[in-house]
Structure 1
């Protein structure tokens, strides 16, 4: 290892040691009144000192939510939100770099199976998975910062995604901290701030579904009805219909060559299509929602060429493609 590689690591290590020592010496200042008094005496450098304390606390595994609440109480909802977000992002970035360049073995030993889940998630979805774990507290915040440093994601996508995905939570906790202090001071309007923050936290609970949906849609291979009909004639595909058996023989019918494997039974019946692992597998349902979920199951099982019929049997019928209902074939749209 040459000097160009060693020097940045030594600088990072020195910064970590300073951050931990500084945090340990200032731990008693985490009391809100003491922290307020300390920062007030620093004048215009108080925001920088707070950023340093927040970042160092993140590296040293101090609770980020406490800092976020304190930021709202001390700096107000606007500046507090900005400082909290920047402080959390700086701390998370340093933890990421520490794990990647200095303490990978230590982090791996303390994350165990969680690390495996993170690595698999990042390799499958990249920055989308980072956004997901930032929005959903599936893993402890401080530990996640270190664990993500052992994945293959590059630093800048990690940094930018963390900055954006942590913003809603930072704003919500900041406003809660501000509302709490104002209410304690007798300001009745503080209830409004608290309700806004709680509403934002409730909205955050729905964001993971959106992120996962966007991630899934980005990785799905789609196929339209005309293309599928041509490939069926050439016998190059295995069509799997993941609807229930009642729908399979229902009014919309099914593709003549399709194998019916309902979505709920699919994980236990993969052996029935194991021979198609090296062929193109086309998944079909009523629209394409269940097919998209089935695509994820097959991908995890090692199927590499999986596509989803866009619009499902509804579009297949609309485009006048032939279907079977029971053993009877019908051509043309369902009427």
Structure 2
């Protein structure tokens, strides 16, 4: 059974009702960027800093997915575990990073704050999750999730953008209104009711939770809360962010969904070398629209190039994995195979650390 686009549009629209009982604050200022179109058909819609044709510095042209002895898989590049020996970089930042799967991360900061990026527990918000399963025959395996103690002690929940694989209303209800929510501009309207404390942040805005500084930074992507990647009237009405945590002079960068552009150099120029970089490496391949997919998502080699731009002391990749959506890629771990291959081909000097879903590392 397959659902029509009209049916998918209808049921997904159910989830776009905005809440009115929340505390919403906007964080911007003279030094921030609010990238809105000023005129024309797209007036009032957000845009990327560097639109237009892209020339990518590094490209894998053939044999991009050679087998790797460090990756043990049940079938081809499906259901895999990374078993290679890894050296933990001697960064001494004090950040603990736990990968929840896909884009989700739980971060414990050096001074004890607890922050989560893009938590999505299951597939998508209901009933879109059912529609996706009926239309595609695919259902995501659950990733790791937060314990009740962790949920009760969260200081901040940070969302990069509205797409269903990064923002789930059911998870917000479970997390509750105790932590502070930080989002890109416009996203608060998509929250459920419940007295949530939401700060919408422009690019290069910053805020603090005790002595933890949280910076909103640019990404190169797009926004829609209907069907991805189809474009309807809500497209780009809400912004998309990357994020930078800063404490004790140490930094952790979460790129969000993004394509490669000069915004990475802008971030480096403003904040200096980055200690820990959480970088997306999947959702770039799609037979019908490969060029567009890469425009708004980084290939593994694009992620490595961006990490070089940022002078990352360590890069932790995400987007692949046994709990991934395999959105636009070949399989659960083909993106990781390509990353390992291109890291060698590019002679990249950026150290990699490969996490399994649910695994933590102290850096």
TM-score range, shorter chain: under 0.3
Q: Which structure is higher in helix share?
A: 1
- Larger-Rg structure: 1
Q: Which structure is higher in strand share?
A: 2
Which of 1 and 2 has higher RCO (CA within 8 Å, sep 6+)? 2
